[in-house]
């Protein structure tokens, strides 16, 4: 180690990338790197990229272009690209953007110290392999610093589903689950440092098989950790929502009544074209079973509008499914092709038609979200407070259903878990008073 260096990480995309960025910073700490929130001060800049959204690679190249003046002003600055765009683009990033010093895929970031040393020596630093070893075996123990009340914890990576629109199997690889003993040890360590809520992460988290009882067994063991008040998990696939996990929602108080369960379309024809391997009817029936186990559960989902071949009738089937389920939150997008995926080779829906459908769907989803939030007014809910709010004396936290809740009470501090009566609703949040 040659003294303190400053590390700036810009994170794009999902919660798993947030977790990965934390682990990247920890992996580089023995080399003397400390985090900075200012790219201009950094000795090493890492872009931790996501390949899910439209034109992800081009947006990465655009961001790299914006960093060129920093590199010109400081020739000792090193710039790296990590994550899924790094995995997908590989050596092309180094060829197209010579200012980049290192490229590392999401399964290889435990090798960052070695790559950083090679980059500092002016040598090629590219690693987008899917290594045989488990990166978690090679990452240093997490530092003992205090943490905020919530944390992400990756338990599963990769996906074997091969949906026709998705790059995840190609950028994150096959499904791999971390052994339950290691997950539980990391969870205990997080709780010891102040964490009260843990969100389990995976590209297909309910396919987790690192515990004999699957994800349900892991959740039950986590719920026995003293001081861990809340457990969540994301993102799931309908085909892996087994009886044990449904039962856990009704039987484990620490498992929060919120489930993100993407369906993508309400048309069986489009679901077949997407290679989803479930039907709209089976999805709706699954939601009914989950609600029977936990009647107050809030359902969230994902929808893709304008998938190749989608007709007006297919889109109407999506609207029908949305009305049947009644979502409390949702993410919806216009289809955008990803090179290398089967759907990218198919005839595309007219963008103007897809845009109009998306606006219609989002209006319906907003109405449902507003109705769910309006019904919260006058009710009581437990809120885990996380940080100061926008106004003096205000603190914001999350309800059991993941709603942001603002409370003006100087007696409440981050980390407090308090009962709150909801008094008002806003577009994407609630307000309340302590009970």
What residues form the annotated binding site?
Answer: 14, 50, 84, 159, 163, 166
Contact 332, 358 (CB under 8 A): yes
Question: In this structure, what token pair is assigned to residue 17?
Answer: 């990338």
CB-side neighbour CA atoms (13 Å) of 350: 6
Annotated binding site for [4Fe-4S] cluster: 14, 50, 84, 159, 163, 166
Contact 341, 305 (CB under 8 A): no
Contact 38, 7 (CB under 8 A): no
In the sheet where 230-234 sits, what is the strand order? Answer: 150-154, 197-201, 230-234
Angle of helix 180-192 relative to helix 214-222, nearest 10 degrees, comes to: 30
Contact 324, 288 (CB under 8 A): no
Which uninterrupted H or E stretch holds 14?
A: none
Q: What is the CA radius of gyration of the chain?
A: 22
SS3 170: helix
CB-side neighbour CA atoms (13 Å) of 374: 6
Residue 144's Cβ-count burial label (10 Å; 0-12, 13-18, 19+) is exposed
Query: Strands 78-83 and 44-49, how do they pair?
Result: parallel
127: β partners: 104
Distance CA 378, CA 372 (A): 13
The number of beta carbons lying within 10 Å of the beta carbon of residue 234 is 21
């Amino acid at each position: 180690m040659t003294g303190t260096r400053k590390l700036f990480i810009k994170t794009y995309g999902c919660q798993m990338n947030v977790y990965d960025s934390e682990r990247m910073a920890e992996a580089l700490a023995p080399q003397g790197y400390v985090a900075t929130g200012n790219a201009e001060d950094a000795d090493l800049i890492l872009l931790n990229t996501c390949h899910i959204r439209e034109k992800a690679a081009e947006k990465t190249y655009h961001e790299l272009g914006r960093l060129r003046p920093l590199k010109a002003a400081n020739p000792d600055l090193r710039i790296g690209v990590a994550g899924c765009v790094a995995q997908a683009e590989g050596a092309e990033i180094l060829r197209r953007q010579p200012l980049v010093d290192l490229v590392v895929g999401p399964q290889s970031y435990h090798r960052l110290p070695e790559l950083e040393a090679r980059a500092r020596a002016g040598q090629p630093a590219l690693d987008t392999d899917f290594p045989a070893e488990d990166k978690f075996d090679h990452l240093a123990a997490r530092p003992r610093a205090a943490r905020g009340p919530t944390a992400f914890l990756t338990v599963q990576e990769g996906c074997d589903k091969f949906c026709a629109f998705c790059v995840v199997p190609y950028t994150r690889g096959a499904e791999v689950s971390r052994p339950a003993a290691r997950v539980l040890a990391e969870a205990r360590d997080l709780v010891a440092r102040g964490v009260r809520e843990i969100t389990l992460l995976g590209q297909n988290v309910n396919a987790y098989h690192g515990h004999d009882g699957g994800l349900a067994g892991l959740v039950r063991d986590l719920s026995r950790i003293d001081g861990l008040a809340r457990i969540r998990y994301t993102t799931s696939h309908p085909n892996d929502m087994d009886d044990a996990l449904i039962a856990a929602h009704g039987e484990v108080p620490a498992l929060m009544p919120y489930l993100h369960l993407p369906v993508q379309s309400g048309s069986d024809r489009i679901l077949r074209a997407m290679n989803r391997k479930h039907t709209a009817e089976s999805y709706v029936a699954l939601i009914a079973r989950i609600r029977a186990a936990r009647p107050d559960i809030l359902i969230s989902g994902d929808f893709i509008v304008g998938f190749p071949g989608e007709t007006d009738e297919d889109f109407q089937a999506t609207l029908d499914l949305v009305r049947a389920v009644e979502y409390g939150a949702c993410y919806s997008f216009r289809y955008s092709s990803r090179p290398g995926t089967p759907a990218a080779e198919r005839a595309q829906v007219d963008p103007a038609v897809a845009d109009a459908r998306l606006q219609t769907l989002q209006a319906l989803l907003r109405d449902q979200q507003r109705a769910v939030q309006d019904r919260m007014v006058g009710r009581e809910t437990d809120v885990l407070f996380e940080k100061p709010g926008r106004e003096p004396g205000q603190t914001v936290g999350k309800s059991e259903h993941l709603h942001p809740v603002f409370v003006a009470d100087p007696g409440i501090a981050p980390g407090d878990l308090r009962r709150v009566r909801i008094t008002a609703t806003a577009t994407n949040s609630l307000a309340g008073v302590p009970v």
